[in-house]
Amino acid sequence: MSDIVTSEQRGDVLIIRVNNPPVNALGIAVREGVTNALADVGNAKAAVLHCEGRTFFAGADITEFGKPPQSPSLNDMIEALENCPIPVIAAMHGTSLGGGLETALGCDYRIIDRKGRVGFPEIELGIFPGAGGTQRSPRLCGIPESLKMTLDGKPITAARAVEIGLCDEISDGDILENAIAFAETKTEKHVVRDLPVPACDQAELEKVLAAAQKSRRGQIAVENATRAVLASAEMDFDSAMENERKLFMELLNGSQARAMRHMFFAERLSAKVDGLDAQPGSLGLIGVVGSGTMGGGIAMAFANAGFAVRIHDANAEALKAGLEKIRALYLASASKGRISEAEALDRFDRIQPIDSWDGFAACDLIIEAVFERMDVKKAVFAELDAVARPDAIIATNTSYLDVDEIAAGTKDPARVLGMHFFSPANVMRLLEIVRGAKTSGKALVTALDAAKRIRKVPVVSGVCHGFIGNRMLKGYGREAGLCMMEGAAPQDVDKALYDFGMPMGPLAMGDLAGLDIGYDNRRSMVAGEDYEPLASVLQDRLVEMGRKGQKTSAGIYKYEASSRAPIPDPEVDALIENIAQEQGVARRPVSADEIVERCMLALINEGARILEEGIAQRASDIDVVYVNGYGFPRYRGGPMFYADELGLAHVLERTRHYQEKFGPKWWTPAPLLEKLAAENSSFGAWKKG
Ligand code: 3HC
């Protein structure tokens, strides 16, 4: 027997122990070991299946997906659990996820640590439970609960798992000892597959389906998962298992599942920086400068993770208003049932206002989130530089400005970096960490550590205008604007990109953010050099007419009072026609395919430059930025993965096509794209030498 699975008999109970760090994924060695152990139960009267380390099985081994299957399969192992002559008790601690939960459902009983969680996160990988989870879970918790877990993918608590019948008992204290004591009382088999499926509550089912259709728009796994779970009440167990397998295999090697697996690993890789050999500094007290939307959100992100935060604003009135807003947001969370009122108030209490810069002297990390102007940022950094401890890290939340220039004004630029949060900062998972030319390894690892502790997905970016995300967004927005001027109605541009999978179209997004932001930015840029004037001339005129977007109830669209729904506006259509005429643009039909292709190619081409310049460490980091910060559909894997899936030869050919059509200014293919296409290679395989 391998070291990964060992067994030992204690009295009448056989203990099958699995030790496959870090998360006891159910790879071939585990499946083989458990199956062998079950084949030899000796004179034991019951068995306990227990995992060492931090968790019970976290699921099938994802690294095996896409490779030739090896026997015994997970289904074979689970069948062996069911066919074992003695009852088997799953001793569940940590996170029992996916195939891990399915394994537990193959056991006769399940005892779960009070802090344990269970779930079917497969949907996040573009699949659904494919080892009997869709058949066994409905027998214990009913179809609506089973489908809810399958489609929303979120783990539930131990208490909830017991309440809905998925687990039998909660364990306080040592899970193994408690499972052994439990096993001593169980001599009868209790096989889940033999239980009937309870009648389905149709109203509950409709609710679950409606929620999934909204939150997982475009994801094909929803349909297959639903069909698999519903079959539990329509077919006998064996036929329904066959049906589950067929529907599962349809997804497993499809493009959506490949993209989502790519994202799973990309999000874990993005926190790793090649050649970085430093230890993080301490992170106790956090300082935040600025109590507006960003500063408030950043303070909440840290307070939510248990950190004590000090917040300061140059303007006492603004600070008071900022804190009131934070309090209101916490209480709103409590009233929606997301956290208890006591927890909301606790979190709020962790954020302490300070009325002078001196209050930052005790902070380990101070993040500035003030007005986006270099002179304002520099003045704040001068104050922080004077009061911060020499070993404290100072970060700017700028979304565009030169971090090196900000750092240059301080005594020690090594402790300065960018921490670019996305709004709302307490909700959005992405954190761009901007490494300046002089940023020390220690400052960088401390920022990465902070990101992990506040449960953000960090991506390290080099210094350039807009860093990874906003720099790429420029070309995307430009092509959307040009397609509109060339002939597509605003709603056609937005619909094309919404149908591609973006949460909203770029023009409606401009209205939401405020058209004046881009307008103000363009005042310090050179038309034709830094941006394409034709792509924003409409927006400029609208701002000058007082139509700044949603906040003025009119922008590219119009809005009814207290509604965010964009309404196409014939006045804007007429304005577009006039501008086109004035600028000598011959309007023509622009198809949805062209809109999507131009916007995507613009993203990809800029992404290639970012990669080649070393601003991003790897292509998958760019994907992480776009999926987590800009709503790029996860099931397409981010723009660089999407390009690799299209094939870089095709991407290059289409980029050249637009270069011929529209000229070289915005369409010259990035040298890296040319090189990789010629080598028949991919962005994913490329590494800067
Ligand atoms: N297979 C292979 N590797 C896995 C894995 C899995 N199921 N789950 C985690 N890992 C790896 C990670 O890639 C990471 O590797 P690295 O250290 O080389 O980067 C390492 O384990 C630790 O993972 P995390 O950094 O994510 O650790 P955390 O402590 O933050 O989180 C966790 C632990 C909650 C278990 C999280 O890893 C997780 O959610 N894992 C995926 C769970 C999942 O999706 N399970 C379903 C798999 S599909 C399935 O079971 C199909 C079946 O229905 C047939």
Q: In what order do the strands lie in the sheet with 88-92?
A: 5-10, 13-18, 46-51, 88-92, 109-113, 169-171
Q: Quote the tokens at residue 626.
A: 């776009």
Q: Quote the tokens at residue 324.
A: 């009131």
Closest atom, ligand 1, to C-alpha of 125: 44
Sign (positive/negative) of CA torsion 499, 501, 503, 504?
negative
CB of 425 closer than 8 Å to CB of 484: no
CA of 584 to the centre of ligand 1 (A): 56
What one-letter code names the amino acid at 300? M
CB of 132 closer than 8 Å to CB of 78: yes
Reference 51, options 133, 112, 128; nearest CA is 112
CA of 62 to the centre of ligand 1 (A): 8
159: Cβ–Cβ under 8 A, 6 or more apart, which residues? 114, 170
CA of 23 to the centre of ligand 1 (A): 7
Closest atom, ligand 1, to C-alpha of 54: 29
CB of 46 closer than 8 Å to CB of 89: yes
What one-letter code names the amino acid at 355? D
DSSP 8-state assignment for residue 26: B
Q: Quote the tokens at residue 15.
A: 């203990």
Atom 54 of ligand 1: nearest residue by CA position: 130
The gap from C-alpha 222 to its chain's centroid, in whole angstroms, comes to 18
For residues 595 and 496, what is the distance between their CA atoms, to the nearest angstrom? 7
The count of C-alpha atoms lying within 13 angstroms of the C-alpha of 301, restricted to the half-sphere facing its C-beta, is 30
* Range 40-65 burial, b when 16+ CB lie within 10 A, else e: ebeebbbbbbbbeeebbbbbbbbeee
Closest atom, ligand 1, to C-alpha of 133: 53
Strand 88-92 relative to strand 46-51: parallel, antiparallel, unpaired? parallel
CA of 428 to the centre of ligand 1 (A): 21
CA of 312 to the centre of ligand 1 (A): 39
CA of 507 to the centre of ligand 1 (A): 37
β-bridge partners, 110: 90
Tell me which of 18, 20, 23 to substitute to probe ligand 1's pocket, judged by most ligand atoms within 8 Å of the beta carbon: 23
CB of 385 closer than 8 Å to CB of 366: no
State pTM to two decimals.
Answer: 0.94
For residues 639 and 617, what is the distance between their CA atoms, to the nearest angstrom? 15
Q: Quote the tokens at residue 207.
A: 């609710």
Q: Which domains does the chain have, with CATH numbers?
A: 5-253 (3.90.226.10), 285-461 (3.40.50.720), 469-582 (1.10.1040.50), 592-678 (1.10.1040.50)
The gap from C-alpha 158 to its chain's centroid, in whole angstroms, comes to 24
CA of 186 to the centre of ligand 1 (A): 32
Atom 1 of ligand 1: nearest residue by CA position: 61
For residues 337 and 340, what is the distance between their CA atoms, to the nearest angstrom? 7
For residues 111 and 115, what is the distance between their CA atoms, to the nearest angstrom? 12
For residues 515 and 509, what is the distance between their CA atoms, to the nearest angstrom? 9
CA of 633 to the centre of ligand 1 (A): 21
Atom 10 of ligand 1: nearest residue by CA position: 23
Number of H helices, E strands in the chain: 29, 17
For residues 626 and 637, what is the distance between their CA atoms, to the nearest angstrom? 9
What one-letter code names the amino acid at 9? Q
Atom 9 of ligand 1: nearest residue by CA position: 23
Q: How far is CA 283 from CA 392, 436, 457, in A?
A: 9, 21, 18
Which residue in this structure is represented by tokens 């405020």? 514
Q: Quote the tokens at residue 314.
A: 């140059």
CA of 52 to the centre of ligand 1 (A): 16
β-bridge partners, 351: 309
Q: Is 449 helix (H, G, I), strand (E, B) or coil?
A: helix
CA of 453 to the centre of ligand 1 (A): 18
601: Cβ–Cβ under 8 A, 6 or more apart, which residues? 479, 651, 654, 655, 658
Pocket of ligand 1 (CB under 6 A): 22-23, 25, 58-63, 74, 95, 97-99, 102, 121-122, 125, 129-131, 133, 268
Expressed in angstroms, the distance from the first to the final Cα of the chain is 44
Tell me which of 24, 62, 267 to substitute to probe ligand 1's pocket, judged by most ligand atoms within 8 Å of the beta carbon: 62
CA of 127 to the centre of ligand 1 (A): 15
Closest atom, ligand 1, to C-alpha of 269: 19
CB of 57 closer than 8 Å to CB of 103: yes
For residues 501 and 126, what is the distance between their CA atoms, to the nearest angstrom? 15
What residue ranges of the chain have pLDDT lower than 50?
Answer: none
Task: Give per-residue pLDDT as tens, 638-687.
Answer: 999 999 999 999 999 999 999 999 999 999 999 999 999 999 999 999 99
Helix ranges, 235-351 (H):
237-252, 255-269, 293-304, 316-335, 341-349
The gap from C-alpha 68 to its chain's centroid, in whole angstroms, comes to 29
DSSP 8-state assignment for residue 557: S
Within a 10 A sphere around the Cβ of 446, how many other Cβ atoms? Answer: 25
Closest atom, ligand 1, to C-alpha of 272: 19
Q: How far is CA 440 from CA 58, 360, 364, 389, 451, in A?
A: 36, 21, 15, 16, 17
pLDDT of res. 669: 98
DSSP 8-state assignment for residue 65: T
680: Cβ–Cβ under 8 A, 6 or more apart, which residues? 648, 649
